[in-house]
Amino acid sequence: MATIEDVAKLAGSSRTTVSRVINDQPYVTKDKKEKIMDAMRQLGYVPNSSARRLRSQRTETIAVLLPRITNPFFGHLIEAIEEEASKYGYQVIVCQTHDKKQKELDYLQLLKTKQVDGVVMASFTNDWMEIKPFLDSGPIVLCNEYMDTDQVSMVHIDHRQAAYDATIHLIEQGCQHIAFTSGGQETHISRQRKSGFHQALSEHNLPFYSDSKWTEALDVKDGQKVLEHLKSVHPYIDGIFTGSDEVAAGIVYAAAQGNWRIPEDLAVVGFDNQMLSLLMVPSITTIEQPVEDMARKTIEVLVEKMQSKQPQRHTRFVYPYELLKRNSTDRSSVTQSVH
């Protein structure tokens, strides 16, 4: 591989001048500049990025931590993040934590070892106290995940309110026995959702059912299991708020196979407005997050932190969401027939 030195020799000048040309700096005569450009072409010279990194102490790379990329929500998120980051000239490293605390910490090492200039945490399973020390090594922005502190910037929607709205919707549709499912790991988000769910129920003096089977529902398969479990153990349940469209889809699918009527026997709410939720029969009521906007803002905030020297204030950006009412909760006919 040709180095800057080779180019300098061939062009009959010094490394310094070549460097000036590479970086489009002033104070180089047209004549020299052309000679150098020629030499670079001839040698197929390309600046070595490791050397640049060492010299400049920046990597132009960020790490994005997320549970798993095949969850469509995170797929969309990283798609948008990659696009946005690339506009600023940053590479994106994918870090799948699978909700494992250790993996999360391992990937944060990238920040310490200066392999990345900053980190987006869309996976956040450790205690904040474990994460905080990494802030000394570089900026971190929480995306989707959040908590109650002002020691870090965050971009998210109000999951508590979203779950509240969805639950109220179920109640308005006449549901009296409503269940709640969430993914394996207990995160701040799932706590927030549960809290909103509880509030809606208690405001209407409705009972709260709990079953450990409901706290590990992550994907379509889990959704199917949930429905089987409901049918055999809790057949009175007539509404369910799932934290995910995949789980909701699994429930709808299993219901179709097992003669359970949605929404008549069971009204279902998903989360994230994946394509899936629209295509299922019946289509699934869900909550839409402005993923692209959130991704853009996350990168904007992170880039600002990475590029400014002095540590600036941390900010919280709360985005609006939308409850999309679809057929899986449309019990208007059910309610009527009761009267």
Inter-residue contact 301 to 153 (CB < 8 Å): yes
The distance of closest approach from Cβ of residue 113 to a second copy in the complex, given in angstroms and rounded to an integer, is 4
Contacts of 245 (CB under 8 A, 6+ apart): 72, 270, 271, 272, 273, 274, 276, 277, 284, 286
Q: DSSP letters of 48-100?
A: -HHHHHHHHT---EEEEEES-TTSHHHHHHHHHHHHHHHHTT-EEEEEE-TT-
Closest contact distance (angstroms) between CB of 309 and DNA is: 14
Q: Minimum CB separation from DNA for residue 328, in Å?
A: 55
Instruction: Please tell me whether residue 28 binds DNA under the rule CB under 7 A.
Output: yes
Q: Does 59 bind DNA (CB under 7 A)?
A: no
Parallel, antiparallel, or unpaired: how do β-strands 286-288 and 322-324 relate?
Answer: antiparallel
What values do phi and psi take at 91, rounded to 5?
-85, 160
Binding site for a second copy (CB under 8 A): 1, 46-51, 53-54, 57, 59, 61, 68-70, 72, 75-76, 78-79, 82-83, 91-96, 109-110, 112-115, 220, 246, 249, 252-253, 256, 275-276, 278-281
Instruction: Rule CB under 7 A: say whether 20 interacts with DNA.
Output: yes
Residue 203 interacts with which of a second copy, DNA, none, CB < 5 to 8 Å by class: none
Coil, strand or helix at 141 = strand
The residues near 308 (Cβ < 8 Å, ≥ 6 apart) are: none
Instruction: Give CA separation, 251 vs 56, 142, 324, in Å.
Output: 53, 31, 18
Q: Please report, as residue ranges, which positions from 260 to 319 form the binding site for DNA (by CB under 7 A).
A: none
Provide the minimum distance between the beta carbon of 208 and a second copy in the complex, in angstroms, as a whole number.
30
**Binding partner of 20, given a second copy, DNA, none, CB within 5-8 angstroms per partner class:** DNA
User: At residue 286, what is the residue type?
Assistant: T
312 binds, among a second copy, DNA, none (CB under 5 to 8 A by kind): none
5 binds DNA per the rule CB under 7 A: yes
Applying CB under 7 A, the residues found at the interface with DNA are 1, 3-5, 12-17, 19-20, 22-23, 26-29, 31-32, 45-48, 50-52, 54-57
